[in-house]
């Protein structure tokens, strides 16, 4: 039963990690290289992350500069950014690509807050699914007479406590991201 609880905690921890990566990719007005994480560039027939093809720097708070190691890939990187859901038009000067992040409008901030809340809710649904699967395993163990009824009740209580802890963590992450979005 302790192994089951450790497994539940590990799966829930992965869910939190995925949520943190999703939150990092939300563009909140400041230049952040994490917004490029999901963009893949077609490079010699293989989808390749921009980070593996270029140096990414931030010369000022609202600008990202992408300098490819292979100058021939400049057009491919520019095209990948244009077709992505980033919503920023890249500026290519022949050597580097610059992404200038405009200040967020009030409507865009509200939209981003909705996205943050949806991501948080999706993560909570994933946690509940992990909890449900674990409780079903406990019931199966009880049915197979591997554990007693008291052990099952204690296990369910422990699993619920772990779930509650991770739900609070998701709420804290979502609140912090909302404040970040609204403060810029």
Sequence spans of domains, the chain = 2-24+105-183, 33-100
| Alpha helix ranges (H) inside 25-105 | 74-83
For 90-112, what is the mean pLDDT?
85
CA dihedral 6, 11, 13, 17 (to 10 degrees): 160
User: Distance of CA 101 to CAs 14, 33, 105, 130, 147, Å?
Assistant: 30, 12, 12, 38, 57
Q: Band the pLDDT of 8: cuts 50, 70, 90.
A: very high
| Fold equal for 2-24+105-183 and 33-100 | no
* CATH topology assigned to domain 33-100: Gyrase A; domain 2 (3.30.1360)
Helix axes 2-24, 149-183, angle to 10 degrees: 10
Query: 2-24+105-183 — its CATH code?
Result: 1.10.132.20
Express each pLDDT in 147-176 by its tens digit.
Answer: 888 999 999 999 999 999 999 999 999 998
Q: Is the pTM of this model over 0.75?
A: no
Lowest mean pLDDT among 11-20, 68-77, 78-87: 78-87
């Amino acid at each position: 039963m302790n192994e089951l609880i450790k497994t539940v905690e590990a799966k829930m921890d992965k869910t939190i990690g995925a949520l943190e990566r999703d939150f990092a990719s939300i563009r909140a007005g400041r230049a952040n290289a994490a917004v490029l994480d999901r963009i893949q560039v077609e490079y010699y027939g293989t989808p390749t992350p921009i980070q593996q093809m270029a140096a990414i720097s931030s010369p000022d708070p609202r600008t990202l500069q992408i300098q490819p190691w292979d100058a021939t890939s400049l057009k491919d990187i520019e095209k990948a950014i244009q077709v992505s859901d980033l919503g920023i038009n890249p500026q290519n000067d022949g050597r580097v690509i610059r992404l200038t992040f405009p200040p967020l409008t009030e409507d865009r901030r509200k939209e981003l807050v909705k996205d943050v809340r949806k991501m948080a809710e999706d993560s909570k649904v994933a946690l509940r699914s992990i909890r449900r699967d674990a409780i079903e395993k406990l019931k199966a163990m009880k049915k197979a007479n591997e554990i007693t009824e008291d052990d099952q009740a204690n296990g369910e209580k422990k699993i619920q406590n772990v779930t509650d802890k991770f739900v609070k963590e998701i709420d804290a992450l979502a609140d912090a991201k909302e404040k970040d979005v609204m403060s810029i």
